Chain A
Amino acid sequence: MNKKNNKNSDILLRMENIDKNFPGVKALDGVLLTVRKGTVHALMGENGAGKSTLMKCLFGVYAKDGGKIFLEGREVSFRNSKEALENGVAMVHQELNQALKRSVMENMWLGRFPKVARFLPFTSEKKMYDETKKLLSELHINVDPRTVMAKMPVSQRQMVEIAKAVSYDSKIIVFDEPTSSLTETEVEHLFRIINMLRDRGCGIIYISHKMEEILRISDEVTVMRDGKHIATKSAKEITMDEIIRLMVGRELTNRYPEKAHEIGEEWLKVEGLTAEYTRLNDVSFTARKGEILGVAGLDGSGRTELLENIFGISARRSGKITLDGKEARNRNARESIRNGFALLTEERRATGIFGILDILENTSISSLDRYRTGLFLSKKKMRESTKWSIEAMRIKTPNQETKIRSLSGGNQQKVILGRWLLTEPEVLLLDEPTRGIDVGAKYEIYQLILDLAAKGKTVIMVSSEMPELLGVCDRIIVMSGGRKAGEVDAKTATQEEIMTLAAKYA
């Protein structure tokens, strides 16, 4: 590769000295990003580091206050994402903006439906189908273009989103947390697609918190912190520790905190849990006081279903739950809470937060009975409890009246966790507690989980990140095809062991 000779013609995208100001905060300060043809460039940084702001400036969602952007040597300044798309810059979003009730092909061609003939305003369904099918097969995505989006799992929808971005013949494609909802096999598929795009000469910007993936797939890595460009290095020359150090600005000796809690007696017993409408079938396990039990498995193996069933928000056909020797029927959420259970759901935006309400309301909603004085609620008591939650969870927020949707993902998650702790639960069911959260906040949440265990709570944690399970949990049960495939000790188990079990009934 004569990269050195053709250095300048090699550069696909160059963002130079980008500044962006918001009232009171300099979100971007002289940021530099160069993406070469046929490379994958990883963009890393904690939440608030400025990654998404930088991308929004590229796409024209924000107007930059300083600096220049060059696309293939030509200076550009897009006024909106449509203009960006038309000029060959596409983005696969983390939160999918899809028309769920419509089919795959309609979503693909939204806004540019292929016409029957050039001058006729009628959409050609056949053309739409053929084009879509062609695109999907090129990328080895096995989906029928007529399938309604809502009927597909999130991972497949994400594949469609990727295909859509590719269909615009984009030269620059930005992937924002693309693997957060994908299984290991799907991640491989995604990487194959990215490699294909790379060979075609596209420039890929890959934003993710998953270190292992970044080092595997990228050619270059740029780290940002506090709105500034910190470093750009070749992926071959940089290590995970160094990335973390650059991101966080200090040594993070351990990704996972020290485990110092003691494990007590058997506390929770689940026997023969079978769901009415999902695959969950005859799952049994026990958990001890002060134990952190992980739940591993592939997407669709029944992990979320297991938690939802224990908590009672999913119809149960048979099974028995016993806590501290007493049966807990958990027929609905309210009863489960009374019995000492708590559930942190998988998708906080969809089923966790009350977006339009503030932190005070989001925190106190599950424990309202405790704030009664006479007939009415005491605002004073609610504020006190919220204050406790904010301090205990180390939530970063100017005040209690801030709307929760303006907080970062990590802080939102902490608010929900604080909400649950105010109900004084004994068993905490956590479904992907650190999904979409940056390294620094992840560490804080691990610390909180360990503190809970140290206080004698039982934590059951579902996660798709095996290193996380192995690093935080004491024991891990592995789900497969709706059944319990096995159990391993987190101290001695390997990722391969867990993967093998996960594939048992798949």
Chain B
Amino acid sequence: MNNGGLYKNVKMTLATANFMVLVAIGLLVFCFCIAVVSAEKTSAEIADESHSIADFN
């Protein structure tokens, strides 16, 4: 039979495979966006905090 190492017994249509790639990439982009947004929030919070600390002084 075809040799495919780890994928030897995988039966999947190309459409499903494409869909899988889209889902995985989508997940990745989603995580990236969350990462960026949460990073901004944190730096915004830090900016806020330093602001309020500055007020105290």
Direct contact of A and B (CB under 8 A): yes
What chain B residues lie within 8 Å of A355 (beta carbons)?
2-3
Closest to A351 in B: B3
What 0/1 pattern do residues 337 to 379 of A give for CB contact below 8 A with B?
A: 0000000000001100011100000000000000000000000
Binds B, one of A63-71, A94-102, A191-199: A94-102
What chain A residues lie within 8 Å of B51 (beta carbons)?
none
What 0/1 pattern do residues 22 to 54 of B give for CB contact below 8 A with A?
A: 000000000000000000000000000000000
What chain B residues lie within 8 Å of A354 (beta carbons)?
3
Closest to A97 in B: B11
Whether the Cβ atoms of B11 and A356 lie closer than 8 Å is: no
What chain A residues lie within 8 Å of B13 (beta carbons)?
80
Q: Is B9 an interface residue (CB 8 A)?
A: yes
What chain A residues lie within 8 Å of B9 (beta carbons)?
99-101
What chain B residues lie within 8 Å of A350 (beta carbons)?
1, 3
What chain B residues lie within 8 Å of A101 (beta carbons)?
9
Whether the Cβ atoms of A349 and B11 lie closer than 8 Å is: no
For the complex formed, measure the closest distance between the CB of B56 and the CB atoms of chain A, giving whole angstroms.
Answer: 64
- What is the CA–CA distance of A80 and B11 in the complex, to the nearest angstrom? 15
A99-B11, A101-B9 known; A356-B3 Cβ under 8 A: yes
Q: What size tier do the contact residues of chain B reach?
A: under 10
What chain B residues lie within 8 Å of A349 (beta carbons)?
1-2
Whether the Cβ atoms of A95 and B1 lie closer than 8 Å is: yes
For the complex formed, measure the closest distance between the CB of A408 and the CB atoms of chain B, giving whole angstroms.
Answer: 16
Q: What size tier do the contact residues of chain A reach?
A: 10 to 19
For the complex formed, measure the closest distance between the CB of B43 and the CB atoms of chain A, giving whole angstroms.
Answer: 48
- What is the CA–CA distance of A350 and B1 in the complex, to the nearest angstrom? 5
For the complex formed, measure the closest distance between the CB of A334 and the CB atoms of chain B, giving whole angstroms.
Answer: 21
What chain B residues lie within 8 Å of A80 (beta carbons)?
13
What chain B residues lie within 8 Å of A99 (beta carbons)?
9, 11
- What is the CA–CA distance of A418 and B13 in the complex, to the nearest angstrom? 35
For the complex formed, measure the closest distance between the CB of A185 and the CB atoms of chain B, giving whole angstroms.
Answer: 26
What 0/1 pattern do residues 1 to 24 of B give for CB contact below 8 A with A?
A: 111000001010100000000000
For the complex formed, measure the closest distance between the CB of B11 and the CB atoms of chain A, giving whole angstroms.
Answer: 7
For the complex formed, measure the closest distance between the CB of B6 and the CB atoms of chain A, giving whole angstroms.
Answer: 13
For the complex formed, measure the closest distance between the CB of A102 and the CB atoms of chain B, giving whole angstroms.
Answer: 10
- What is the CA–CA distance of A95 and B3 in the complex, to the nearest angstrom? 13
- What is the CA–CA distance of A101 and B9 in the complex, to the nearest angstrom? 10
Closest to B5 in A: A356
What chain A residues lie within 8 Å of B2 (beta carbons)?
349, 355
- What is the CA–CA distance of A355 and B11 in the complex, to the nearest angstrom? 18
What chain B residues lie within 8 Å of A100 (beta carbons)?
9
For the complex formed, measure the closest distance between the CB of A248 and the CB atoms of chain B, giving whole angstroms.
Answer: 30
What 0/1 pattern do residues 420 to 464 of A give for CB contact below 8 A with B?
A: 000000000000000000000000000000000000000000000
- What is the CA–CA distance of A100 and B8 in the complex, to the nearest angstrom? 11
What chain A residues lie within 8 Å of B1 (beta carbons)?
95, 349-350
For the complex formed, measure the closest distance between the CB of B7 and the CB atoms of chain A, giving whole angstroms.
Answer: 12
For the complex formed, measure the closest distance between the CB of A149 and the CB atoms of chain B, giving whole angstroms.
Answer: 12
- What is the CA–CA distance of A355 and B3 in the complex, to the nearest angstrom? 7
For the complex formed, measure the closest distance between the CB of B3 and the CB atoms of chain A, giving whole angstroms.
Answer: 5
- What is the CA–CA distance of A369 and B36 in the complex, to the nearest angstrom? 55
What 0/1 pattern do residues 75 to 105 of A give for CB contact below 8 A with B?
A: 0000010000000000000010101110000
- What is the CA–CA distance of A430 and B48 in the complex, to the nearest angstrom? 80
What chain B residues lie within 8 Å of A95 (beta carbons)?
1
What chain A residues lie within 8 Å of B11 (beta carbons)?
97, 99
For the complex formed, measure the closest distance between the CB of B5 and the CB atoms of chain A, giving whole angstroms.
Answer: 9
Closest to B1 in A: A350
Closest to A110 in B: B11
For the complex formed, measure the closest distance between the CB of A91 and the CB atoms of chain B, giving whole angstroms.
Answer: 16
- What is the CA–CA distance of A101 and B8 in the complex, to the nearest angstrom? 12
- What is the CA–CA distance of A361 and B3 in the complex, to the nearest angstrom? 16
Closest to B13 in A: A80
- What is the CA–CA distance of A349 and B1 in the complex, to the nearest angstrom? 6
- What is the CA–CA distance of A99 and B9 in the complex, to the nearest angstrom? 8
- What is the CA–CA distance of A354 and B4 in the complex, to the nearest angstrom? 11
Closest to A100 in B: B9
- What is the CA–CA distance of A392 and B3 in the complex, to the nearest angstrom? 28
- What is the CA–CA distance of A99 and B8 in the complex, to the nearest angstrom? 11
Closest to B15 in A: A80
For the complex formed, measure the closest distance between the CB of A101 and the CB atoms of chain B, giving whole angstroms.
Answer: 7
Closest to A347 in B: B1
What 0/1 pattern do residues 97 to 122 of A give for CB contact below 8 A with B?
A: 10111000000000000000000000
- Chain A residues with CB under 8 Å of chain B are 80, 95, 97, 99-101, 349-350, 354-356
Task: With A80-B13, A99-B9, A355-B3 given, name 9 new contacts (CB 8 A).
Answer: A95-B1, A100-B9, A101-B9, A349-B1, A349-B2, A350-B3, A354-B3, A355-B2, A356-B3
4 closest cross-chain pairs (CB), A and B = A355-B3, A350-B1, A349-B1, A355-B2
15 contacts between A and B (CB under 8 A): A80-B13, A95-B1, A97-B11, A99-B9, A99-B11, A100-B9, A101-B9, A349-B1, A349-B2, A350-B1, A350-B3, A354-B3, A355-B2, A355-B3, A356-B3
- Chain B residues with CB under 8 Å of chain A are 1-3, 9, 11, 13
